[in-house]
Structure 1
Amino acid sequence: MLSRRAGWALAVPVFVVLVGYVLWPNVETFRLGLDGELLGELFGRGRAAGVRALVNSVGVSLGTVVLGGAVGTALAWALWRYDLPLRRTLGAVAALPLALPPLVGVLAFLFLYGESGMLPRALQAAFGLETVPFAFGGIGAVLAVHVYVFYVYFYLFVSASLRDLDASLLDASADLGAGAWTTFRRVVMPLLRPALVGASLLVFMLSMASFTAPLLFAEGEPFLTTQIYQFKTNGALDRAAAVSVVLTGICLLFLVGAETRGRATGAGAGKGVGRRPGPLRGWPRVVASVLVGVALLVVLLPVATVVLLSFVQEGSWTTQILPDTFTGANYTALFTQPDVLAPITSSLWMAALATAANVVFGVATAVVIVKGKVPGRGVLRALSLLPFAVPGTVMALGLLVLFDEPTLLAGGAVLIGTVWLLPLAYFVRHLPLVVRAAQASLEGFDDRLAEASADLGAGGWATFRRVVLPAIGPGVIAGGLLTFVTALGEFVASIMLYVYANRPIAVEVFSQLRIFAFGQAAAYSVLLMGLVVVAVVVSRRLGGQGVQA
């Protein structure tokens, strides 16, 4: 579809942008952080803060994989295998944690399970205790938040594999006398292994890169991501870079593993005979009903908590278990008070600018990778995926290091301290979303349509504009919408790079939390959740249209 000349015309600027804005900031970080003496100081002693941060990050990530894998796999298997009460409802809300921006999910846990949270206070009052019986905090709280957010990946991966599972294998196993557990262990688990390994690699990498939960819950325990932020805040960029080298190296290893496993998952169960969920009767159905109720409560309660608190009058929720004074003023202020509206305006224009650049550049990159005839397309593909592997703290630090002095990439200007560095970070951080969406659409495009257009006398640009773009447009728009709402809720890069003039919603939520303005913080959070839900719904519909096209 793409001539060699047109391929080179697209490949050159794509390569320049990927090297200049994606790769080079990380090269600069590695150049600054690859100092043997500094690495030895931070990670060379058993009780050093760097060693503790590494142990905490790896330990929580491994725990997230184990517990999140158990929860997600069990949920996917139960919904596929059994006719559970409220089965459709549970299936619909199981992926809800993915719709929560990271900061919002953590705030929900803080309001619900923190030392002043609703549940600890309720138990204290119910049992007449002098202090709350428990409160989420420390490494255990970070692990709990991670399991809540990341079990979804296991659920989605395993559910997709189960849809392709030949259910006649289960019947054959039962006919040979194997019990339910033996069948699951000896027949089902080997077929699910590619999905489980892929989800494990992805969840480990995401957990290692997590910043928000350790920042708000770790209670002084160091994590690699929070160390980077603290060193940057204190002006020790060399130490932040050294920690970034270790964190990025680990994440890159797992990205390579995830990509390798992703290409190998085709050797799964294969299409076979479907299976209707089996009925449950008697006491198993009673137990299942209780478990389903608990699961729904655990998933929905954090979201309901944030919505409830968004109507709380500021200063009225102090020692009560539940708020007792409600108002709509928090929502009114979002759009009527200039100082409250400013973060929304900033987030909207920065997310829109970054998304527009993502769409244009993402489509160009995908066209070169999928339809181009130039050498080195694999390198371009790897560079376009690099922001997936580089944690947000590391990416933000790289931009700080690179643009702390005049550079050709910034038109000879210094971007530190300007409003332009943060939208650039949004563009770089979310680039893979649009590239992947455009790639998927282009891989399903029939080149014969473009050839027919050329035979009818249409030029290359006319063919792309009137034939290719309408076919891949729904998928690209869906990726763009997801990019837009992800940028709106971005917290990690925002807290590292914002200036007061362009403070975004996520930073304002954090600021409101620190001054105990819970109602306003929750109202911002509900706004973010609503935008995410709308974008996901529209993206799914457009994605379906793109597949049909």
Structure 2
Amino acid sequence: MRRVLQLFLLLVLAWIVVEPLAIVGVESVRRDGAWTLDAVRAFAVEPNEWRAAWNSTWLAALSVITGTMIGVPLALVTRLAGFPGRRVVSALLALPAVLPPLVGVVAFLFLYGESGVFSRGIMALTGSEVAPWRFEGGGAVLLIHATTMYVYPYLLVRAALATFDTSLIEAATALGAGRVRTMRTIVLPLLRPAIGNGALLIALTSLASFSAPYVFGGGFRVLPTQLITTRLNGDVSVAMVETLVLVALALFCLGAATRLGGPGVRGAGKGLAPAPAASRKGWRRSLTAVGVAAITVWLLLPHLALLGVSFVAPGAWTRTALPTAWTGGNYVALIAEPERWRPFGTSLWMAGLAAAAAAVLALLVAVAARDPRHRLSRGLEVALGLPWAVPGTVYAIALATMFSVTQPAAGRFILIGTLWLLPLAYLVRALPIIGRAVVAAIRALDPAYDEAAAALGAGRWRTFRTITLPLLMPALAGATALGFVTGLGDFMTSVILYTYDTRPVSLEILGAIRQGELGIAAAYGVVITLLSTAAFVLAERSRGAA
């Protein structure tokens, strides 16, 4: 029975995860029913294509370097150093983890953009009617990446430090090693896997980044934006080649980060969280507190600007440094006006349906792949995690290509222009988030539970219903909440696949900005942030309960 379930789930995952990517590969070398390399040649001879690929590469590399340089020291300081307000600062620094990409980009627009708070303030002080800068190009995108993606190494390193054995540091100190040498030879090698995984997340997120280059790129093109432009221009085959190049870059980053993270250095110990070490000198504690607080304020300024702009009255912020009138009417409008609420309702039902379906599928995969020694179990795990390594724009193009024709024998049906394609894309994107968590949780369960239930005469279904499922619920609920947040704030997949009936809230935010309704756009962003934060808190509590 388990083998039948494994084969069935492999077919399902092959249909919605693997086949779309395979079709993209075929379409890139096939045109009008014949095999051809014309699209590959067109890509190879076009300088803009190579420029976009190079921009994606160096942007990902610098995003990894800058994000890691911000996130790792902050994790070390907030976990190991004792200073006033440490817990509050630690929680605030994790805030970017719950912000959907477009909302974070909009926050930077309100702060650093040509019509943002800083620009308007300088114009008011100097009496100039011209913005002092143009916040666009590769530098602007890199700043956004660095100050939002640092959260990945920050969270992973903090989690690794939570089980760090401080006796290793004590032993190094007893042997005469100074702080720098202890950090270099003991702490950082033990943190290598966490740092490597954080770097991987930054690299993959940067390669897939669409919101920041789309809003602030200007003439700066990266592969995700170049892919959309090429497809809109009708060069579908070239767009397929761009898709494959983007996938190749993502897989290269996956391999490089695997080597960087590696197994690291393993140390045997108690696994106790290290207590923050308060400096004996009061001025050092104060200096640490002031420095970390200043960095935290700088990192969170865009989000504070987003909150402030959400209370700006329509037409009250045109030429002045600060708005001339404030109101809570923007939030009232989101509820009272049907055209404002409709995108929220659309995003809620699509993200909710996708997360629920992904949770059911992930649970079935976890049950079928519980034993990692079986070859089919490993195949299920690989297929489940594949969307995590492939950028969202790639899957959007792949799904649009696969479900644009009717070929029942190949599992292809026309879903373009229907209500179901975008929720299906959300489901695929949520699968790795939910699936990896549930698979890890079920493998961590003690087999003695099943053995005891079997000894008492319980069948497999009753054992699963009364023992396994309740034990998995915390992990399942938390991961499903994160999968829901992923769909709720999605932009890069939605901008390719949405229709009039499936216009999500992320597209409504962009439309409000283009129409000059900054308060409405910011209010949308704040509400999405609050919903995402609630889901993040639920996930953390569920993980703790697990």
Q: In which range does the TM-score fall when normalised by the shorter chain? A: over 0.9
Structure 2 distance, partners of 1:499, 1:125, is 42
Structure 2 distance, partners of 1:543, 1:171, is 31
- Which stretch shows the higher mean deviation, 243-252 or 404-413? 404-413
| Matching residue of 1:355 | 355
Secondary structure at 1:267 match in 2: coil
| Matching residue of 1:57 | 56
Contact 1:313 1:326 in 2 (8 A): yes
What's the offset of the Cα at 1:420? 1.0
Secondary structure at 2:370 match in 1: helix
What's the offset of the Cα at 1:239? 1.6
| Matching residue of 1:14 | 9
Report 1:147-296 matches (<5 A). Answer: 147-174=146-173, 178-258=177-257, 264-265=263-264, 267=266, 271=270, 274-279=274-279, 281=281, 284-285=284-285, 287-296=287-296
- Which stretch shows the higher mean deviation, 354-363 or 123-132? 123-132
What's the offset of the Cα at 1:10? 1.7
Structure 2 distance, partners of 1:409, 1:208, is 34
| Matching residue of 2:20 | 25
Contact 1:84 1:280 in 2 (8 A): no
Structure 1 distance, partners of 2:542, 2:212, is 33
CA offsets, 1:192-220, max 9 Å, x none? 32322222223112211111111111111
Structure 2 distance, partners of 1:280, 1:118, is 41
Q: Go from structure 1 to structure 2 and tell me whether the alpha carbon gap of 1:437 and 1:260 turns closer, same or farther (over 3 Å shift).
A: farther
Contact 1:255 1:389 in 2 (8 A): yes
What's the offset of the Cα at 1:324? 2.4
Q: Does 1:145 align with 2:144?
A: yes
Report 1:79-478 matches (<5 A). Answer: 79-126=78-125, 131-174=130-173, 178-258=177-257, 264-265=263-264, 267=266, 271=270, 274-279=274-279, 281=281, 284-285=284-285, 287-371=287-371, 375-408=375-408, 413-478=413-478
Secondary structure at 1:28 match in 2: helix
Q: Does 1:42 align with 2:43?
A: yes
Contact 1:63 1:143 in 2 (8 A): yes
What's the offset of the Cα at 1:266? 7.2
CA offsets, 1:323-371, max 9 Å, x none? 2222222212222222111111111111121112111101001111114
What's the offset of the Cα at 1:448? 2.4
Structure 2 distance, partners of 1:89, 1:115, is 32
Contact 1:83 1:278 in 2 (8 A): yes
Q: Go from structure 1 to structure 2 and tell me whether the alpha carbon gap of 1:156 and 1:521 turns closer, same or farther (over 3 Å shift).
A: same
| Matching residue of 2:500 | 500
> Can you give the 5+ residue segments of structure 2 that lack an aligned partner in the other structure?
30-35
| Matching residue of 2:32 | none
Structure 1 distance, partners of 2:184, 2:409, is 55
Q: Go from structure 1 to structure 2 and tell me whether the alpha carbon gap of 1:208 and 1:519 turns closer, same or farther (over 3 Å shift).
A: same
Structure 2 distance, partners of 1:167, 1:219, is 49
Alignment-mate amino acid for residue 26 of structure 2: R
Structure 1 distance, partners of 2:406, 2:386, is 25
Secondary structure at 1:370 match in 2: coil
What's the offset of the Cα at 1:269? 7.3
Alignment-mate amino acid for residue 25 of structure 1: P
Structure 2 distance, partners of 1:495, 1:75, is 34
Structure 2 distance, partners of 1:347, 1:114, is 27
What's the offset of the Cα at 1:530? 1.0
Structure 2 distance, partners of 1:350, 1:409, is 28
Alignment-mate amino acid for residue 315 of structure 1: G
Secondary structure at 1:521 match in 2: helix
Contact 2:396 2:497 in 1 (8 A): yes
Alignment-mate amino acid for residue 198 of structure 1: N
What's the offset of the Cα at 1:129? 5.6
Aligned-residue CA RMSD in angstroms?
2.4
Contact 1:20 1:409 in 2 (8 A): no
Structure 1 distance, partners of 2:177, 2:128, is 50
What's the offset of the Cα at 1:290? 3.4
Contact 1:108 1:305 in 2 (8 A): yes
Structure 1 distance, partners of 2:456, 2:170, is 56
What's the offset of the Cα at 1:134? 3.9
Structure 1 distance, partners of 2:390, 2:350, is 21
Contact 1:165 1:272 in 2 (8 A): yes
What's the offset of the Cα at 1:472? 0.7
Contact 2:396 2:496 in 1 (8 A): yes
Contact 1:120 1:135 in 2 (8 A): no
What's the offset of the Cα at 1:453? 2.5
| Matching residue of 2:511 | 511
Contact 2:192 2:262 in 1 (8 A): no
Contact 2:485 2:535 in 1 (8 A): yes
Contact 2:55 2:222 in 1 (8 A): yes
Alignment-mate amino acid for residue 182 of structure 2: T
Secondary structure at 1:264 match in 2: coil
Secondary structure at 2:457 match in 1: coil
- Give the TM-score normalised by structure 2: 0.92
Alignment-mate amino acid for residue 136 of structure 1: F
Q: Go from structure 1 to structure 2 and tell me whether the alpha carbon gap of 1:537 and 1:133 turns closer, same or farther (over 3 Å shift).
A: same
Structure 2 distance, partners of 1:406, 1:183, is 63
Q: Go from structure 1 to structure 2 and tell me whether the alpha carbon gap of 1:464 and 1:183 turns closer, same or farther (over 3 Å shift).
A: closer
Query: In the comparison of the two structures, how many residue pairs are matched?
Result: 539
What's the offset of the Cα at 1:36? 4.2
Contact 2:6 2:376 in 1 (8 A): no
- Which stretch shows the higher mean deviation, 150-159 or 415-424? 150-159
What's the offset of the Cα at 1:372? 8.0
Structure 2 distance, partners of 1:442, 1:266, is 27
Secondary structure at 1:499 match in 2: coil
Aligned identity (percent) is: 39
Alignment-mate amino acid for residue 51 of structure 1: W
Q: Go from structure 1 to structure 2 and tell me whether the alpha carbon gap of 1:424 and 1:93 turns closer, same or farther (over 3 Å shift).
A: same
Contact 2:25 2:244 in 1 (8 A): yes
Secondary structure at 2:297 match in 1: helix
What's the offset of the Cα at 1:30? 1.3
Secondary structure at 1:500 match in 2: coil
Contact 1:83 1:280 in 2 (8 A): no
What's the offset of the Cα at 1:311? 1.8
